[in-house]
């Protein structure tokens, strides 16, 4: 059966004016109008080499203070990043929403609090073949190898969705091999014929296209249009013990997302380049000139049911969940996001 989904970016939903989205949001206040005291003043997180993530931008913009961001190292995987939250190695981590559904279906004590990456007209991932490749359709992928950065995350789900929409049955789909390949090695693996298809996005995609000789078989935007694909999670006990810190943190992240959405891209790229240079982590800022947009569909990273329901449906279809076992509203909250109040939506009961 072929499934077509309607994403929040394609439907009437939460709408805020650009002026409202850009307006600074006040920190949580006590009843006397004074800023609420933060229960915890340090947030541990993992970064990504050569990238500036939202907590780092919020810190640089002054939105995070007096909360302090403590970098504990880098990750290359969303599933690893959120697992580090579960094991208390970090306080906040982000991953593809499908990976979050899988983790929370196992009763992991975390909750998604804000969306942080996604797909739009400027930010998307293509699944590329060489120009001389015989692969022209999903049927041609039977018996072939597709490079993905990790299993159980964004890129695996996109490949599987592409195969299902094309009508491949489960037996045929199993003959499409997913090969875990570091993103920086995906282009070379494709050109050297170690894989037949490689997922490429951002700077890796743009540089590969500059070299020529490849084209997309399909893209994640072809499949789903504009959508938020991943969320940040916090541990439930962290939220319970630190409601003021949680609200302050999520507010800072939401403001950073909207700053990047409303600020000219050249200015965003210049700030990112400076941040990377000043933090001295022995990394390259070469990817920053290729930054184009946030990719986040909803104002301030607000989360919607649809952004989780689609992956719940997938896991039910695969037999990993029972129908009705997991409800989207149990996986996330917009309670701490200041943009939810303007929309009148998403607060935890």
Q: Where are the alpha helices (DSSP H) in 192-318?
A: 202-211, 220-224, 236-241, 243-262, 265-279, 306-317
Q: What is the pLDDT of residue 6?
A: 33
Question: Domains of the chain by range and CATH?
Answer: 42-121+226-330 (3.40.190.10), 125-224 (3.40.190.10)
Give dist(CA 97, CA 200) in Å, integer. 20
- What is the 8-class DSSP label of residue 39? S
Structure tokens at 327: 């409800």
Query: Mean pLDDT over residues 295-304, rounded?
Result: 93
C-alpha distances (whole Å) from 150 to each of 77, 78, 147, 248, 347 are 7, 9, 9, 32, 32
Query: Mean pLDDT over residues 147-172, rounded?
Result: 88
Q: Report whether 116 contacts 253 (CB < 8 A).
A: yes
Most confident of 6-10, 226-230, 238-242: 238-242
User: Considering the chain, what is the average pLDDT of its residues?
Assistant: 85
Enter the pTM of the model. 0.80
Give strand ranges (E) for the chain: 42-47, 68-74, 92-96, 110-119, 125-130, 145-148, 177-180, 197-201, 214-219, 227-235
What would the pLDDT profile of 131-151 be if each residue is shown by its tens digit?
999 999 999 999 999 999 877
What would the pLDDT profile of 209-235 be if each residue is shown by its tens digit?
999 999 999 998 899 888 899 999 999
Q: What is the pLDDT of residue 243?
A: 96
Q: What is the pLDDT of residue 95?
A: 92
What would the pLDDT profile of 85-109 be if each residue is shown by its tens digit?
999 999 999 999 988 998 888 889 9
Is the bond into 66 cis (omega within 30 degrees of 0)? yes
Q: What is the pLDDT of residue 241?
A: 96
């Amino acid at each position: 059966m072929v499934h077509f989904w309607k994403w929040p970016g394609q439907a009437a939903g939460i709408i805020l004016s650009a002026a409202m989205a850009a307006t600074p949001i006040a920190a949580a206040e006590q009843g006397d109008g004074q800023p609420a005291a933060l229960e915890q003043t340090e947030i541990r997180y993992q970064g990504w080499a050569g990238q500036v993530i939202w907590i780092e931008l919020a810190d640089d913009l002054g939105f995070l203070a007096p909360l302090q961001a403590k970098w504990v190292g880098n990750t290359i995987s969303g599933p690893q990043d959120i697992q580090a939250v579960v094991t208390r190695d970090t306080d906040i981590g982000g991953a593809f929403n499908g990976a979050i559904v899988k983790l929370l279906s196992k009763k992991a004590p975390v909750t998604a609090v804000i969306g942080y990456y996604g797909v739009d007209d400027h930010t998307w991932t293509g699944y590329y073949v060489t120009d001389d490749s015989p692969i022209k359709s999903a049927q041609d992928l039977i018996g072939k190898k597709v490079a993905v950065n990790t299993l159980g995350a964004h890129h695996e789900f996109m490949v599987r969705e592409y195969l299902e929409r094309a009508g491949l049955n489960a037996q045929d789909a199993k003959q499409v091999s997913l090969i875990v390949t570091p993103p920086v090695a995906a282009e070379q693996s494709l050109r050297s014929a170690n894989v037949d298809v490689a997922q490429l996005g951002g700077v890796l995609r743009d540089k590969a296209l500059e070299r020529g000789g490849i084209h997309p078989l399909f893209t994640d935007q072809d499949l789903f249009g504009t959508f938020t694909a991943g969320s940040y999670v916090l541990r439930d006990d962290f939220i319970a013990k630190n409601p003021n810190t949680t609200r302050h943190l999520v507010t800072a992240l939401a403001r950073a997302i909207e700053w990047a959405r409303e600020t000219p891209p050249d200015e965003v790229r210049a700030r990112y380049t400076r941040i990377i240079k000043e933090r001295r982590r022995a990394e390259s800022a070469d990817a920053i000139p290729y930054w184009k947009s946030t990719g986040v569909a909803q104002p301030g990273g607000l989360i919607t049911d649809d952004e989780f329901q689609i992956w719940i449906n997938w896991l039910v279809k695969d037999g990993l969940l029972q129908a009705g076992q997991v409800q989207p509203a149990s996986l996330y909250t917009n309670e701490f996001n200041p943009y939810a109040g303007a929309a009148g939506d998403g607060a935890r009961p």
